[in-house]
Structure formats: structure tokens, C-alpha cells
A and B are shown apart, each in its own frame.
Chain A
Amino acid sequence: MKDIGVSAEELAALLDGRLDQSRRAELLASLGSSEEAIEAYANAASVISELEAGDTARSTAPSKAASRAHPRRLPAWSWLAMAAALAGVAVAPWLWTRARSVDRDDPSQFVGLVAPPGRALPPQWYGTPWPGTRGAGQPLTPTARATRLGVRLVDLDLAVRTHDSTVGQLTAEIVDLVEGLPAGSPVAAVYRDLGRRATAGEAPDALEPLLARGRGAATKLAGADLVQLGAWAEAGRLAAAQRNASFFQAQASRTMLARASGVPGLPEEARVLVQRLHSDLQAGAPRDWSGLERDFTELLKITGS
């Protein structure tokens, strides 16, 4: 942060009215002579004012009848501020907020199709369809990272739901994957926390908000299309192992299948395989379940390598 002659904390104390008279006067004199400081201060003061106005509007929202009885005239900016604050997630740009509002990109939509309540995971499900080791100097490609993330997000969701012992292993793997992404550290922190809490025995319901937050943020960071593809393919692999025809008939699965071959960054070999799966599955319910499981495993091997 560039030095502008006054510290952020001093300016914050001024905004909070926590300075004594002499310190306040000194700081105002500094502000008066620094365009940079006053701009930062003005920006902060406007934002605080806007957010406080929004909070007040939320906490004191009158009933409709009361509003009609006491119409209140507010300057245009106040309406804007209140609208923005009330709209909340709709206008907030950052990935956390966006992630919460984009259901179509949520990899967990496939989890419910393969893990109805009470159904346990197949024994020893946790595995790596892609090669286990990579040589030195061979970082993961963005495609491989995003696909693997999609796979592990589904696995983790399932493991948490079924109290599977792989939760710690899965969160550690997700931490590794997201830490390799720009701005991934906060998301990694979410998964570390999740791993700690899950292994301490917290109930799946209590972990769901954390799962949703991490899932949304990780998806946005890595790229929704490929994470979705990885999640769908992992769920498809599991559905094939379960002989679960309803997964392939579900709208979410069919939609993903239809758009999978157009996902940017998909290797050509994977694209051909997806197109074949598309035509096979469109023909009706799968007959060769083992072959289908192999195809999904192969798809993950190609895209996750």
C-alpha cells in the first residue's frame, strides 16, 4: 500500500470519532494538504455512510402501511445505497457472493443425484483416475486443476454426508488444488477449517454452509465450466458403479452432457469421448455399466492429467 503520509488506522480512528481534539486537528491539517489522503478518506467515508444507510434501512424497515402513512423523501444517492445494500449479493462483485447466487454452476447439483439420504458410498471409493505423481517442473494445467477440483468437491460432499473417513484426505487435496490458484488462500483456509471440523465429528448439516461457501468460491476461482465437468464426470462414474439410471435421466446431468463437448479448454481426446457418451446415452438407458464407468474414468484421466 502506497504511503500517503497518514496511516489507515489514524484515518479510521478519525472516522470513528476516537481522536482527541489536538490529534484530530493535526490529522485534519495533514488531510487538507494531501490529495491522496483526502481521496482515500473520502472514499472510505462515503462507503461507510452508504453501508450504514443500508444497514439502517434493513434493520428498521417499516411495514407497508407505515410506509404509506409516513412517506419519507430521501436524496437519490440514499435510494441507490439502500437498493444496493438490500440487493446485497446481486451487486457484490466478489466471488464469494457471486458463488452463492449461481446454482447452475454449483457442482453439488450432481451430488444429490448419486447420494440420496442414507445411501452409503461404495467401499474404497476414493481413488485417483489420473496418474498419481507428476514429474518435477510439471505443474498442473488449469484444465487439470479445475477438473480435479470438480471431482474432489463431489467426493468431499459425499464423504461429509456419509461420515466417510476420507474427509481429511479430501480437504487436504482441495487445499493443495486451490492454493495453486490466484487468490486461493482464503478458499484454502475455508477447507482447512472444514477438515478440522469434520474430523472433530461435526454434523453434516452444520458443515453445509461452509461446504457451500468453499464450493462456490473454488468453482469461481478455477473456472466454472471445467469444475462442473469434473464434478459431473465424477458423479457419472459413481452412478455407473451404482447402476443408477436415474442419474443419466436427470435434467442437470443431461444438460451437462449436452454442453460438455463445448467446454473451453477441453482436450480434443476428451471432446471425442464426450461426444460418444452423448450419442450413447441419448439412445436410452445405459446397458453396459462397466463400460460406462470405464468411459467416465477415462474422461477424468484425460482432463485431470
Chain B
Amino acid sequence: MPPERQRLEALFLSQLGWIERVVAAVSRRNGLARDDADDFASWTTLRLIEDDYAVFRKFRGESALTTYLTVVIAMLFRDYRTHRWGRWRPSAAARRRGPLAVRLETLVYRDGLRLTQAGELLRTAGHTDLSDRQLGALLNELPIRQSGRPQQVASSGGADPPAIEEADDLVLADEVAMARKVIGDQLKRLPPEEQVMLRMRYWEGMTVVEVARGLGLPQKPLYRRLDRALADLRHFLEESGMSQEGLRAALTEWTN
């Protein structure tokens, strides 16, 4: 084996422990079921070693190798998700409520399971002891989504849509999409760091601690900066002519 390949292989092996921890954390954060997480792990491993360890070969040492691999795996996750499920992604609200909410949202909205089926799956897999009623309450805290999977016109009995009014859902989903676009437009008027800060906190559902770590900022003043940036955004949205109701819906979708 050529010495360069041997070196890259050794580098890969030396990082296996970190890689598996990152893969597990990314899977958890994005609500992957165990089988999907296993599949993602294998898929990621292949990507990391393909083309003679190209990922490792490209590394120039401008960051810690562990950080670089973490970003690579996070980027790979986007590719994996698109490859498996198209444009589906968990909502920020579900992420903020933790892995159970992400998993529940995924089962109901992406996979089209009824709440009772989703509850059964989650309990059997040991993810929760909550009853269907309690899971329903959790689901109600999440934004209503359009299913990521094409629905059959005539259900054969196994894949009923979630227990919500479908026509209303679609209208709401449209409003939410519209609100998201308007927010995206107005966000651009804020300074870049404020934009990133708000997107990380509200769009991506990160905690303030995570945002602070991600941007290398002190945590305490960040609360005030976030509040200020949100107030500025509200002001821009009002300026853009958005109605009070639309504004409330938009910010609720964003910040809940």
C-alpha cells in the first residue's frame, strides 16, 4: 500500500472514536430511528473513506481535525437526509423540545403515521413512557407541517394522516412558508453576526449556550443581543407592511 494511503488510513482509524460519537450525536439531534442511525453511520463511513480518504486528504490543518470532521459529518447529514427523504427536516420547535419531539414529529408528519401508531412505535423502542394523550399534547406544541411523503388518495387503512384538519393544515403551512420567506428577506437588513445568531437560535433551534459556543461569543451578553436583534427584526417586519396577525404568526412559528 502506498505510504500516503497508509498515513490517511491510520489517520482515519485514529479518529474513529470521535467519528462515531459525532455520528451518534447528529443522529440524535435529528431524530433518527436506530435503523436509520445505523444506516447513516455506514453511509457516512463510506463517504469518509471513499476516493482514497479524500476527506482526510483535503484537510489543511486550519482547524482542529475533530472540528473539521464534525463539520464534514454535519454536511454529510444534509446530503444523507436529502437522499433518503427529500427536503424534510425537523422543525426548530421540535429540536428545542428535544429528541422525543423530533422523533414524534418525524413519524407523524414525514412518515404519515397516526398518533397512536407513532406512540406505539416510540414506546416499543423505549423512547418514552408517555401515553398517546401526552404525546398528542406534545405534538400540539409543534408547528403543523405538510407530510414529507406523498399521501394515497384512498387510504388502505394503515396510513391515515395525523388527527388534524387537512385543508386547514395546508393553509397554515402556506402561511408559515410565506412568513418564513418574509422573515428571511428582512433578516438580511441586520448585521451578519446578528443574522447568524438569530438563525441559529430560532431557525435551527439551538440553545443560547450552543450559539455562544458556535460563534465564540460570551454567553451572558448574548441574551440581551438576541433580544435586541429580535426587536430590530420585528421593527423591520412592521416596516415591510406585515399585518399584526401575520407578524404574530411569523414570530410564533419562529420563536416557539
A interface, CB within 8 angstroms of B: 1-2, 4, 8-13, 15-18, 25, 28-29, 31-33, 35-36, 38-52, 75-78, 80, 84-85, 91-97, 182-183, 185-186, 189-190, 192-193
Q: Are A189 and B71 in contact (CB under 8 A)?
A: no
Q: Are A49 and B13 in contact (CB under 8 A)?
A: no
Q: Are B28 and A84 in contact (CB under 8 A)?
A: yes
Chain A residues lying within 8 Å of B206, measured Cβ to Cβ, are: 42, 45-46
A–B complex contacts, Cβ < 8 Å, 22 sampled: A1-B76, A8-B75, A9-B63, A12-B64, A28-B196, A31-B196, A41-B214, A42-B199, A42-B200, A42-B204, A43-B30, A44-B73, A45-B210, A47-B29, A48-B214, A50-B29, A75-B207, A78-B209, A91-B28, A93-B32, A182-B46, A186-B13
Q: Are A183 and B42 in contact (CB under 8 A)?
A: yes
Chain A residues lying within 8 Å of B67, measured Cβ to Cβ, are: 12, 15-16, 44, 48
Chain A residues lying within 8 Å of B30, measured Cβ to Cβ, are: 43
Query: Which residue from A39, A49, A189 sits with its C-beta under 8 Å from B214?
Result: A49
Chain B residues lying within 8 Å of A10, measured Cβ to Cβ, are: 62
Chain B residues lying within 8 Å of A40, measured Cβ to Cβ, are: 71, 74-75, 77-78
Chain A residues lying within 8 Å of B73, measured Cβ to Cβ, are: 44, 47
The reply on B26 being an interface residue by CB < 8 A is yes
The reply on B106 being an interface residue by CB < 8 A is no
Which residue of chain B lies nearest to A18 when distances are taken between CB atoms in the complex? B63
Given contacts A75-B207, A91-B28, A93-B38, contact A1 B75 (CB under 8 A): yes
Q: Which 10 A-B pairs have the closest CB atoms?
A: A45-B214, A12-B63, A42-B204, A32-B195, A43-B74, A94-B41, A93-B37, A44-B74, A28-B192, A92-B24
Q: Are B72 and A49 in contact (CB under 8 A)?
A: no
Give the interface centre of B23, B27, B70 by most chain A CB atoms within 10 Å: B70
The reply on B49 being an interface residue by CB < 8 A is yes
Q: Are B214 and A183 in contact (CB under 8 A)?
A: no
Chain B residues lying within 8 Å of A80, measured Cβ to Cβ, are: 98-99
Chain A residues lying within 8 Å of B75, measured Cβ to Cβ, are: 1-2, 4, 8, 40
The reply on B20 being an interface residue by CB < 8 A is yes
Given contacts A11-B71, A15-B67, contact A33 B204 (CB under 8 A): no
Chain B residues lying within 8 Å of A43, measured Cβ to Cβ, are: 26, 29-30, 74, 77, 204
Known: A36-B78, A94-B41. 5 other contacts (CB 8 A): A9-B59, A46-B204, A48-B67, A80-B99, A193-B13
* Shortest Cβ gap from B79 to chain A (Å): 5
Docked CA distance A91–B37 (Å): 10
Q: Are A12 and B199 in contact (CB under 8 A)?
A: no
Which residue of chain A lies nearest to B75 when distances are taken between CB atoms in the complex? A40
Given contacts A38-B203, A42-B206, A84-B24, contact A8 B68 (CB under 8 A): yes
Docked CA distance A28–B98 (Å): 27
Docked CA distance A78–B213 (Å): 14
Q: Are A51 and B25 in contact (CB under 8 A)?
A: yes
Q: Are A31 and B192 in contact (CB under 8 A)?
A: yes
In B201-220, which residues have CB < 8 Å from any A CB?
203-204, 206-207, 209-211, 213-214, 216
